[in-house]
């Protein structure tokens, strides 16, 4: 006789808690493994761009790709389709992560969210100030936002390498911090890295959003039904002068978080779970392969480019820890917040160091900030250098922290 109740008879609260924990575990697993895949893609791009086949690297990404519908032809480079189209799916997953965290995760309660929010703000302001201290001149100053974002995949991947001795609340704090970083980065892109705005484009995008909401209202459950409104929102943003990838964030934020009558899993979890592996294992590595190829042989660190590299690298490996740790200490010291159980100041230091790993969003912002290839390559190199230093420091500190935590557990 089976004494276990089937899942449909479980109390609602434990069921949703279990589901949330399973979603978190799945998310962390995918991010940890994808961090390794992303690292391989970065290494491949660097080797390719610095090999005798370097000319192929640039030729391939500049190949024109045509989207044709009858007499209408839309021609853009392969680089555009990766950075402006495929990355929209990346931002869609980001938007869904934000929506889910606001509904039932680390951002659902003010008292839980305020500490990582303050830490993230500190981790944005201090790196920006450090970068600007080296790059106040026109032409370089617009890169201030490059070192403000944390790469979730790399950061969680490093935590995975440190093993299970790292307390779960440290992982949750880092995850919340990285997600809030993404929110700030999205706002920065929308507010500071947009061209002249076309209101007609916003009208087209609004029509696409209303169409998606209408489909939800009428109970359209198939994800394929939303491809057309998603394309309309994307095209509207492109026409409006806003970076089209932000269409993904908008669509992610309006994805339902509650299950319909015949459903067990809410759409936001179902779609995110389906897309997340594709983003982690295909889109992000492809983005890395197409954008991390800096030719170090021909990079001229002159004319101010050296200050771009120095500003970005130092802002990541020093500014991020100082901002995160400093803001957290100030919030706790003033009595506004308390550290979660299991989170010590050594754990906060680890989080601060790992927050300095910036890749996907940092390089993405760099491409929006600079049209000068010298400054763009210098910024990319600064991201790679600062992230490498942060990984090294994070692994060193984390190994010692994990060792001390295991010893305390043994006693």
Structure tokens at 63: 């190949």
178 touches 101 (CB < 8 A): no
Average pLDDT over residues 10-22: 50
Q: How confident is the model at residue 29 (pLDDT cuts 50, 70, 90)?
A: low
**CATH match of 15-193+243-410 with 1.20.1530.10:** yes
* pLDDT exceeds cutoff 70 at 209: yes
* pLDDT exceeds cutoff 50 at 2: no
* pLDDT exceeds cutoff 80 at 372: yes
233 touches 247 (CB < 8 A): yes
Q: How confident is the model at residue 139 (pLDDT cuts 50, 70, 90)?
A: confident
- CA 37, CA 31: separation in Å to the nearest integer? 10
The string of pLDDT tens digits covering residues 324-343 is 999 999 999 988 888 888 88
Three-state secondary-structure class, residue 342:
coil
- CA 184, CA 193: separation in Å to the nearest integer? 13
């Amino acid at each position: 006789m089976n004494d276990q109740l089937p899942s449909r008879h479980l109390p609602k609260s434990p069921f949703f808690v279990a589901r949330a924990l399973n979603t978190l575990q799945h998310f962390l697993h995918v991010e940890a493994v994808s961090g390794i895949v992303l690292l391989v893609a970065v290494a491949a791009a660097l080797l390719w761009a610095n090999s005798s086949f370097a000319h192929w690297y640039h030729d391939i990404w500049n190949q024109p790709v045509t989207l044709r519908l009858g007499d209408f032809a839309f021609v853009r480079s392969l680089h555009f389709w990766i950075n402006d189209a495929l990355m929209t799916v990346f931002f869609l997953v980001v938007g869904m992560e934000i929506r889910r965290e606001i509904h039932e995760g680390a951002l659902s309660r003010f008292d839980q969210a305020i500490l990582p929010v303050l830490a993230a703000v500190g981790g944005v302001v201090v790196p920006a100030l450090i970068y600007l201290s080296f790059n106040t001149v026109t032409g370089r100053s617009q890169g201030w936002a490059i070192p403000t974002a944390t790469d979730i995949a790399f950061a969680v991947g490093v935590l995975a390498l440190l093993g299970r001795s790292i307390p779960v609340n440290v992982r949750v704090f880092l995850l919340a911090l990285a997600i809030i970083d993404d929110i700030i980065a999205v706002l920065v892109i929308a507010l500071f890295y947009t061209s002249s705005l076309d209101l007609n484009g916003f009208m087209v995008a609004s029509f696409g959003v209303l169409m998606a909401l209408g489909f939800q209202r009428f109970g359209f459950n198939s994800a394929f039904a939303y491809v057309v409104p998603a394309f309309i929102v994307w095209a509207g943003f492109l026409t409006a002068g806003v970076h089209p990838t932000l269409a993904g964030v908008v669509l992610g934020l309006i994805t339902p978080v509650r299950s319909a009558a015949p459903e067990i899993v809410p759409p936001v979890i179902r779609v995110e779970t389906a897309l997340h592996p594709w983003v982690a294992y295909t889109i992000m590595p492809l983005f890395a392969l197409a954008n991390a190829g800096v030719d170090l042989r021909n990079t001229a660190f002159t004319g101010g480019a050296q200050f771009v590299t120095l500003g970005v690298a130092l802002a990541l490996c020093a500014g991020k820890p100082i901002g995160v740790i400093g803001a957290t200490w100030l919030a706790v010291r003033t009595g506004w917040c308390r550290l979660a159980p299991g989170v010590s100041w050594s754990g906060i230091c680890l989080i601060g160091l790992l927050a300095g790993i910036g890749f996907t969003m940092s390089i993405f912002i760099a491409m929006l900030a600079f049209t000068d290839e010298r400054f763009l390559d210098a910024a990319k190199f600064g991201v790679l250098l600062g992230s490498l230093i942060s990984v090294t420091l994070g692994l060193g500190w984390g190994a010692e922290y994990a060792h001390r935590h295991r010893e305390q557990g043994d006693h």
